[in-house]
Amino acid sequence: MIGEVSPDAPLLQRFPQLPADRDLFWSNLARSRIRDYAPVGPILPLELVIFHVTRCGSTLVSRMLDCLGSCQIYNEPRVMLRLCGPIWHLAPSVMRQAALEGILAGLGQKLTIQATALVVKMALFQWLSLPLLETCRPGLPKLMIIRDPLEVLVSNILEPPHWAGTKGSPTAPLASGIALSTQAGLSEQEYVARCLGRAMAALADAIEGAPADWIIIDHAELPGAIHDRLLPRLGIVPTGAERAAMEAQARLYSKRRDDAAVYRPDTDRKQAAATPEMRALCARFMAGPHARLRALHTAQPG
């Protein structure tokens, strides 16, 4: 059967046995030798990488973009988490660059006929990969999603992310900027606040270095800014059906797939849940970097 399909056909048409979980497929691929991987069909260009400060609407953005037939999007694919995270950050840059090229070739293989662009949403600590990404794809458009820092901190403390458990691990200083000897005396809340602040500051540094390469969207601007600012920048005009599907996604709670999970604004709830300690940690470690990001957001054309 495969032999009867054109080698230029999308990957799923040529290999229908691929699992529905695309991230799992490429995660399994990562366990093999990435440098030996050879694409077997057309490769989509990487058109956008999404960075964010966590719990700020990035999953909603990826779900909305996934409604576009032209976008082949991966939401924090595990294979990229490995390469662009703290552990691989210790590997020689030449090795990491070769691996990234192999991964992008794999992720970029067309899964559908209409796909024309690859989009990847990164995880928080993958800001470490920015120099590597710039080397491989200079001038690549990047989206940064921000939110009120206290709301971000409250969300990460009330529902701790997996990386909150890295405190005390050998690679934790790379991601957090905190020496292991200091980490031992930190509360879980302070560790989270410091990690968030460090990521925000690093991303502000990157945007200040090349502001024309970035689009910054505030959580409060969603979902409208996707249609008004992001899609025009990418040259994408949704069909009526795609726009309706995107609007349907915007009405749902993005962390769940079922239609019963209607999204309800949570700004007031998160502000009310902030304790005096959370407010102090936010002011100390996150307010400054967030102010820089807000200034960059305000300075954008339009």
Q: Domain-by-domain residue ranges, the chain?
A: 2-299
* Residue 67 pLDDT: 95
Q: What is the mean pLDDT of each run of 10 residues along the chain (302 residues)?
A: 45 47 47 54 93 94 95 89 76 84 88 93 91 94 98 96 86 82 91 95 97 97 96 96 94 65 85 98 98 98 80
Specify the CATH number for 2-299; select among 3.30.720.210, 3.40.50.920, 1.10.8.60, 3.40.50.300.
Answer: 3.40.50.300
Output the DSSP codes for 60-124.
HHHHHHTT-TTEEEEES-HHHHHHTSTTGGGS-HHHHHHHHHHHHHHHTB-SSTT--EEEEEPPG
Cα 244 from Cα 192, distance rounded (Å): 37
C-alpha–C-alpha distance, residues 198 and 125, integer Å: 9
> Considering the entire predicted model, what is its pTM?
0.85
Give the separation between CA 39 and CA 289, rounded to whole angstroms.
Answer: 40
Q: How many CB atoms lie within 10 A of CB 171?
A: 15
